Amino acid sequence: MPALESFLSLEASIASRIYNSWVRETATTRQQLIDALAHGKYADADVLVDSLGFKPVTEKHRNFLETIGLATLISGASQVTPISKTQLAVERSLPLILESAITAFSTSLDLSATEQVSVRVRKFIAELQAEDPLEPGTGVSDIRLKQFDPDDIADLINSNVLGTGKGLVDAGANLTTSRLMAYGFLSESRSRGFLTYQVTEVLDGRTCPVCRGMHGKIFRAAPALERLERTLLTTDPMQLKTMNPFPSQAAKGIKLLAGLTNTEMERRGWNTPPYHPSCRGVLVKRGTVPKGEIRGFTTPKGVPLIDEFEI
């Protein structure tokens, strides 16, 4: 599936570049943090946490992010027409929507991801300090009666810092790439006069119930493009969350989703991926998803739902 392969490759390029750069940028700070904790210097460690942010990395790689973002838009458009004939290739201009999307990705890492990493690490510091009794009567908070193994602390710090950071970078890269890919496809579809499209998902052991049901769904291009334009022009991370709530993965949520018409799904913003972080869904031209693969949702009584945009 060319669309999926392209999407996953572009997503991985962003995630890998930002994460690996962040690992290098924070190497000195992480070592200082490990040393401080190994010697019970909790106040020093707390100050160091503020140096684990993503902003230096996103600023450094802004041009790279815009380049990959443009490639993602073109990749989406190329699912409609050959690359050389796409609007982006012909006009050779950088869309405003791309700059906004990259700003939103960077802001999310600079603020939300940095905060989540800080909270996670400070929680670990507090737990470590709680296990370390103070010397009675000294009133000195940075003196330990016991020494923790620096290697053990290093493993725990790297797990808390790098593990949390990687998950957040991967999620951000996925959401940004998915939306840009869909926008490129829909924008080109509009210029070519295509009125509808299909969602295609990877069907394997990792596929969630939502994506399995959305696979093969047919939606109208115009409403999807309008919604994505609003989304991609929004740079505030908190506003983006409220604008684009994901379908619930709980049994009750799946049952609700199964009972919605395509128009109702459109109104809720569920006419394009991503349907969750790490979603692998992409948009393709109608009729290019093999019919034998399409299962879709069923009603609570097991009766297949009628696709209102099939005719």
| Residue 306 predicted with pLDDT over 80 | no
311 contact partners, CB below 8 Å, separation of at least 6? none
For 207, list phi and psi in degrees, rounded to 5: -70, 125
Mind spelling out the 3-state secondary structure of 167-202?
HHHHHHHHHHHHHHHHHHHHHHHHHHCCCEEEEECC
Confidence at residue 156, expressed as pLDDT on a 0 to 100 scale: 81
The pLDDT value recorded for residue 291 is 67
Other Cβ atoms less than 10 A from the Cβ of 100: the count is 16
C-alpha atoms less than 13 angstroms from C-alpha of 10 in its C-beta half-sphere: 28
What are the pLDDT digits (tens) for 26-58?
A: 999 999 998 888 888 889 999 999 999 999 999
- pLDDT band with cut points at 50, 70 and 90 for residue 155: confident
Residue 218: in which H helix or E strand, if any? strand 218-220
Structure confidence by residue, pLDDT tens digits, 54-79 = 999 999 999 999 999 999 999 999 99
- Tell me the per-residue pLDDT of 287-299, one tens digit each, with 9 for 90 and over: 988 765 655 554 4
Q: Average pLDDT, stretch 74-102?
A: 88
Element (H, E) at 224: helix 221-232
DSSP-assigned states of every residue in 112-154: IIHHHHHHHHHHHHHHHHHTSPPPTTT--TT--SS---HHHHH
Calpha distance 124→49 (Å, rounded): 11
The residues near 199 (Cβ < 8 Å, ≥ 6 apart) are 214, 215, 216, 217, 219, 271, 272, 273, 281, 282, 283, 284
Residues 257, 251: contact at Cβ < 8 Å?
no
Peptide bond just before 274 cis, omega within 30 deg: yes
> Which DSSP letter does residue 159 get?
I
Average pLDDT, the chain: 86
Question: In the structure, what pLDDT confidence band is assigned to residue 134 with cuts at 50, 70 and 90?
Answer: low
- pLDDT confidence of residue 147: 56
CA-wise closest residue to 258 among 206, 197, 301, 220: 301
Question: What residues form DSSP beta bridges with 284?
Answer: 198
User: Which tokens sit at 126?
Assistant: 């507090």
Sequence-separated (6 or more) residues with CB below 8 Å from residue 84? none
HEC sequence for 59-100:
HHCHHHHHHHHHHHHHHHHCCCCCHHHCHHHHHCCCCHHHHH
pLDDT at 143: 45
Distance CA 161, CA 211 (A): 31
